[in-house]
């Protein structure tokens, strides 16, 4: 994997984009147990790095494959709406 990098959730902590995503998730009450949080934050960070002007549909697509069993998806939808504006 020469010339490639891997970002871990720990490595994203200092990224202002990650902070924005985390704040949106907290504000929307989209987090509970934390099990799904690293995958959701990583997926949204990658999507917004790729397209900073991503709309709701693009951000929802970025989360396909991430499962949340505690909070359901209403909070995630609210956070996505905030991030897409």
Tell me the pLDDT tens digit for each residue of 27-52.
Answer: 999 989 989 999 999 999 999 999 99
Q: Convert the pLDDT of each residue in 46-81 to its tens digit.
A: 999 999 999 999 999 999 999 988 887 899 999 999
- 82 or 68: which leads in pLDDT: 82
Q: What pLDDT shows up at residue 57?
A: 98
Q: What pLDDT shows up at residue 70?
A: 86
How many Å apart are CA 58 and CA 3, to the nearest integer?
27
How many Å apart are CA 5 and CA 7, to the nearest integer?
7
Domain segments of the chain as ranges: 14-83
The CATH architecture of the domain made up of 14-83 is Orthogonal Bundle (1.10)
């Amino acid at each position: 994997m020469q010339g490639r990098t891997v970002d871990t959730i720990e490595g994203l902590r200092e990224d202002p984009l990650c902070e924005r995503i985390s704040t949106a998730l907290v504000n929307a009450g989209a987090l509970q147990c934390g099990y799904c949080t690293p995958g959701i934050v990583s997926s949204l960070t990658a999507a917004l790095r790729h397209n900073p002007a991503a709309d709701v549909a693009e951000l929802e697509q970025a989360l396909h494959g991430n499962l949340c069993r505690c909070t359901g998806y209403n909070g995630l939808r609210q956070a996505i709406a905030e991030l897409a504006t």
